[in-house]
Chain A
Amino acid sequence: DVKVTQSSRYLVKRTGEKVFLECVQDMDHENMFWYRQDPGLGLRLIYFSYDVKMKEKGDIPEGYSVSREKKERFSLILESASTNQTSMYLCASRGGGALGEQFFGPGTRLTVL
């Protein structure tokens, strides 16, 4: 059974803290994604990676950075957390090709106080 795991289901941090969200996939997928999900806004792409050490900005990259040192692992970093980054963060992975689905992790609910 394919699996995408995220390091935490719930996280509470304080304003200004550096926050790491980790994502691991076991499907040997080239592509990995970080989204945030807010009520009424659906999913918004923060960053994605199509290969190890490669990264591309999505629609809302400001305030975030990412790291992909190994194929199976994609990390989202909030350098200095702010209250407006309180959200649900979803990681996904996908193989190559024109077709095919993204596989999502269960999400991390981040609250920044």
Chain B
Amino acid sequence: LAKTTQPISMDSYEGQEVNITCSHNNIATNDYITWYQQFPSQGPRFIIQGYKTKVTNEVASLFIPADRKSSTLSLPRVSLSDTAVYYCLVGEWSNYQLIWGAGTKLIIKP
């Protein structure tokens, strides 16, 4: 099973681009990479999912290099409301083998 490692915490400022990297050296061929956001007193919320190269949606981008041993969640022009914990999840659903990272606490300062 892939083990996921991500930084415990990060700080940034409003208007900056923030990149959070997740390491998953043992990722399997069929594994997908998914990122979730969690605010205090709420359950995690899906942000983005990808398999390789780059995926972009209205809130974030996900960069996955060719070897897929890491992935980077990119949040453009963050605001105070982006202060949250971000989780990386690696795995595949066909066999329910899923590994969650421990989460990165992102604090955005004015």
Query: Which residues of chain A have a CB within 8 Å of any CB of chain B?
Result: 4, 40-45, 48, 50, 56, 90-92, 94, 97-107
Contacts and interface: CB of A to CB of B under 8 A. Distances in A.
Nearest to A104: B43
Nearest to A94: B93
Interface in B16-51: 32, 34, 41-46, 49
B97 to A, nearest CB: 10
Sort chain B's interface into a size bin.
20 to 34
- By secondary structure, the B interface counts as loop
Interface of B: 8, 32, 34, 41-46, 49, 87, 92-94, 96, 98, 100-103
A41 B102 contact: yes
Contacts of A98: 32, 92-94
B93 A42 contact: no
Nearest to A9: B41
Nearest to A43: B100
Contacts of A48: 96
B103 A107 contact: no
Contacts of B32: 98-99
A92 B101 CA distance: 17
Contact of A42 (B42, B45, B46, B100): B100
B49 A99 contact: yes
29 contacts: A40-B8, A40-B102, A41-B102, A42-B100, A42-B102, A43-B44, A43-B87, A43-B100, A44-B100, A48-B96, A90-B43, A90-B44, A91-B43, A98-B32, A98-B92, A98-B93, A98-B94, A99-B32, A100-B93, A101-B34, A101-B49, A102-B46, A103-B46, A104-B44, A104-B45, A105-B43, A106-B41, A106-B43, A107-B42
